[in-house]
Structure 1
Amino acid sequence: MDRKRDFWSVFKEIIDYTLKYKPNIMLISGDLFDRVDPRNPPRTKVIQAFRSIHENGTKIFMISGNHDGAKSISEGMSPLSEIAATGYAEFFSSVDEVECKHIRIADLDVCISGISYNHEAKINSNPLENKRIPVEGDINIFMFHYSLEKFRSRYMYSEPIVFPSSFPKNLHYIACGHVHRYMCKRYGETLLCYPGSSERLSFQEERDREKGFIYLEVGLNGVEKINFIPVKARPMKSIRINISENISNPSYYIVDLLNKYANKNIIFRAVVEGELSLEALQRYDRNEIFRKLVDKFFILDIVDDKLILKNIDIIPPDDSYRSPIQEFKKYMETLIEKERDEERKKLWEDVREMGERKLREAGGF
């Protein structure tokens, strides 16, 4: 699929930059993959890329994130373990203790440490509490994959949160993953950065000006140079369309409006809202809109669950009257309500969100 190629394309930009400029170290702070069981083709491509980087003189260090780290014994091991087994990268796999590796660069002892994402960490707990972060080198670098207090992801009220008090003095740089926006902050002499995701994953990221990665130079006195390197991520845009009674043909109106935004390079979402009479609503044809516009965008998503009947309360006599999205949503909400384990409840919420999105992409309503 073209969309899958998007993710490989931006990753290849990072690989090509690394091969060209030959940094001493490459840090991957979690979620190299978006799932714990990626297909063989992307695994193979990553191993081939890492072999080239390794043979080019750059040492690679990785931790797993909330997507590519195993949640339970039944899920087996992270795919990063397979990559580490090739010898092309170092993987800090522990979720309980900070692991470290010392390497020598220009007669300096560089201590690189990290801890992988712990799926059993409690909500709002500090997963780095009482964890020893080593600062034994001339230069000390630490990696983690969590939200930081005041730098939170969209799950800000239902996930573990790292507090700056966990960071020891004499850390030169902290390489963070999990938050999808590029952000940096200093804590004394320590610089902490989230490079953000290299590709947009949802419309929550449509306003992110750029996607990319970080190139930096670290010396004895800390980070001496930092550059954010943008990549060619797929643009996203969404608009809201309010449909009123005085629009005689809602479908024609929407098609005419969206044609003005036609761009085969963009992922576009139209959120259709309004209160219509039954007669007016019958003139709205979602499938017709798709047929006329689907070739005008890279991906088109039409969200119309807020398009409702005016002054009419219809109670369906049984479940067979629910739309596919409504039926799926009701089923998932039942599972979420019955679930007592907070981590599993969060997982069901993710499944509901992804399922609704996939149903809309498939033309559900």
Structure 2
Amino acid sequence: MKFAHLADTHLGYRQFGLYEREKDFYEVFEKIIDRIIEEKVDFVIHSGDLFDSSRPSPMALLTFQKGLIKLKNANIPIFAIAGNHDFAMRQGSIPPQVLFKKFGLKVISPINTNYMYEDVFIAGFPFHSSSQDKVLKNKLTELSKKAANHEKSILVLHQGIDKYFNLQYELEIGEVPDNFTYYAMGHLHNYINDDFGKGKLVYPGSSEVWKTSELDDFRKNGKGFVIVDLDSKKPSVERIKIDLPREFIDKTIDFENLDSEIGLIRNTIKDFDKKPIINLTINNVTSTNEAYELINEELDDLTLMVRPKFITPGEENIDLIIDKENALGPIEVLASRLESYDDEDITKFASDLYALLSKDKNEEAKQLIDEFYRQKFSAEEEED
């Protein structure tokens, strides 16, 4: 018996505000569905963040519906949970996945935490924030007890685990029950395939490049999904890489060689099927206007986006002093400033709020604030 495991497809995401990038995510999802059917799997598991928003666009909904119908026609059932992007951050919110129950989608939810596929026990629940850690741990204990009655079992979660995340996580590795056969994880966009307990713990990663920080892992492990075979004593996991619609190119050049280097880039990309996205670092810049003009003149018609970074001679000296490997990003700086509170809930709340506000998701930010204060202070009043 084998199944496909994917996660973090983020249908509807319009990266850099470009509709072309939104269509790229749809194209990759369609490729994945076609490849899953080719592999003749028994079933599919999607571990959350199917959509990028709790209110997906009509095109995002239609893209998933088409994929779901393809799977249904191939007699391949699909089990899914909701990730943090799939539902609004307020109590009682319903993820868009429920719209597709009549099309055959089997939603793993707080009401229906588990299913059986032949002799395989499939269980899980949607994303829980760190402020819900007690509920999360209690549910894991309950599912672990149920899994003990089955030889083959799959735990489906959309959570961060401390072993694989830096600061933002909801579970420590020791809090994850160790008696499942396979751990179908979502949330982390990089590919992880790890031994855990008696089985395998896998984050298949996002299906497309959701952030440019994912590029290193993408170049190492690709983007796609996994095929899991449960017939052996320990599950075997095969990585299936999917070709992305367009290329991301990183290039560092010196301002003195700008003309010739830009010419080489133009010659390289002129025959690409789709316009690439270029991250361009230019050292020793003495005239940003001159650099901008040349980049726009030579590359504008051949690229979807050029993201230039200009480094002047003075800035270069500063860069030599800063240890970039250990430099703190905004989330890490925020967390370090909140250490004095000694409260993981406050740190998680602040980082989640920053993430929403940085994307202009003001309504979701307000909902997060309301939920946090309702849970935090109502709990404190009960204790008093």
**Superposition pairs of residues 200-219 of structure 1, within 5 angstroms:** 200-207=209-216, 208=218, 209=220, 210-219=222-231
Measured in 2, the distance between the counterparts of 1:254 and 1:28 equals 43
Cα distance change on mapping 1:99 and 1:287 into 2, 3 Å: farther
> Structure 1 residue 158: deviation in Å?
3.0
The residue number in structure 1 matching 2:296 is 290
Aligned twin of 1:129? 137
CA distance in 1, matches of 2:103, 2:114: 16
Q: Structure 1's 283 and 31: CA in aligned 2 closer, same or farther, altered over 3 A?
A: closer
Greater shift in the superposed pair: 57-66 or 12-21:
12-21
Q: CA, structure 1 residues 185+43, in 2 after alignment: closer, same or farther (shift >3 Å)?
A: same
Are 1:345 and 2:358 counterparts? no
Q: Distance in 2 between matches of 1:189 and 1:260?
A: 52
Q: Alpha-carbon deviations, 1:254-290, whole Å to 9, x = none?
A: 744643653544321113454x6xxx43653525522
Aligned in 2, Cα 1:145/1:283: closer, same or farther, shift over 3 Å? closer
Where do 5+ consecutive residues of structure 2 fail to align? 1-18, 316-332, 339-344, 361-384
Please, which of 133, 149, 158 is the counterpart of residue 162 of structure 2? 149
Q: How far apart are residue 293 of structure 1 and its match?
A: 0.9
User: Aligned AA for 2:31?
Assistant: E
- Does residue 302 of the first structure (1) align with residue 308 of the second (2)? yes
Q: Structure 2 vs 1, CA of residues 180 and 282 (structure 1 numbering), >3 Å: closer, same or farther? A: closer
Per-residue displacement from partner, 1:315-342 (whole Å, max 9, x unpaired)? xxxxxxxxxxxxxxxxxx99xx99x964
**Secondary structure in structure 2 of the residue aligned to 1:176:** strand
In the alignment, structure 1 segments of 5+ residues that lack a partner are 311-332, 356-365
The size of the alignment, in residue pairs, is 307
1:54-83 deviation per Cα after TM superposition (whole angstroms, max 9, x unaligned): 232212110111222321159x42111212
CA contact (8 A) 1:142 1:175 kept: yes
- Partner residue of 1:239 out of 223, 243, 251: 251
Residue equivalent to 1:101: 115
- Does the residue aligned with 1:81 lie in a helix, a strand or coil? helix
Alpha carbons 1:127, 1:161 under 8 Å: kept = no
Is the contact between residue 68 and residue 103 of structure 2 (CA under 8 Å) also seen in structure 1? no
**Is the counterpart of residue 115 in structure 1 residue 125 in structure 2?**
yes
Assess, with a 3 A threshold, how the Cα gap between structure 1 residues 216 and 89 changes in structure 2: closer, same or farther: same
Q: What is the match of residue 80 of structure 2?
A: 62
**Structure 1 pair 283/151, CA: closer, same or farther in 2 (3 Å)?**
closer
CA contact (8 A) 1:217 1:226 kept: yes
Question: For 2:313 and 2:264, how far apart are their aligned partners in 1?
Answer: 20
Structure that is richer in strand per residue: 1
How many percent identity over aligned positions?
Answer: 20
Map of 2:188 onto structure 1: 179
Q: What amino acid maps onto 2:200 in structure 1?
A: L
How far off is 1:15 after superposition? 1.1
Aligned to 2:100: 83
Following TM superposition, the consecutive aligned residue runs of length 4 or more in structure 1 with deviations greater than 4 angstroms are 125-128, 250-254, 306-310, 340-344, 351-355
Q: Please report how far the alpha carbon of residue 252 of structure 1 lies from its aligned counterpart in structure 2 after TM superposition.
A: 4.6
Task: Say which structure is richer in helix.
Answer: 2
Q: Distance in 1 between matches of 2:81 and 2:65?
A: 16
Tell me which of the two structures has the higher relative contact order, counting C-alpha pairs closer than 8 angstroms and 6 or more residues apart: 2
Is 1:281 aligned with 2:287?
Answer: yes
Give 3-state SS (helix, strand or coil) of 2:32's partner. Answer: helix
Residue matched to 1:140: 153
Match of 2:201 in 1: 192
Q: Secondary structure of the equivalent of 1:349? A: helix
Correspondence for 1:227: 238
Q: Residue 346 of structure 1: CA displacement?
A: 2.5
Asked if the contact 2:277–2:306 (Cα under 8 Å) also holds between the matched residues in 1, the reply is yes
2:224 aligned partner, one-letter code:
G
Q: Match of 1:215, as an amino acid?
A: I
Preserved CA contact (<8 Å) 1:26 1:59: yes
CA distance in 2: counterparts of 1:127 and 1:211, whole angstroms: 33
The answer (yes or no) to whether the contact 1:138–1:220 under 8 Å persists in 2 is: no
Residues 31 and 68 in structure 1, CA contact (< 8 A), matched pair in contact too: yes
Q: 1:193 to 1:294 in 2, by over 3 A?
A: same
Secondary structure in 1 aligned to 2:30? Answer: helix
Distance 2:312 2:171 in 1: 38
Q: Which residue of structure 1 aligns with residue 169 of structure 2?
A: 159
Structure 1 pair 77/138, CA: closer, same or farther in 2 (3 Å)? same
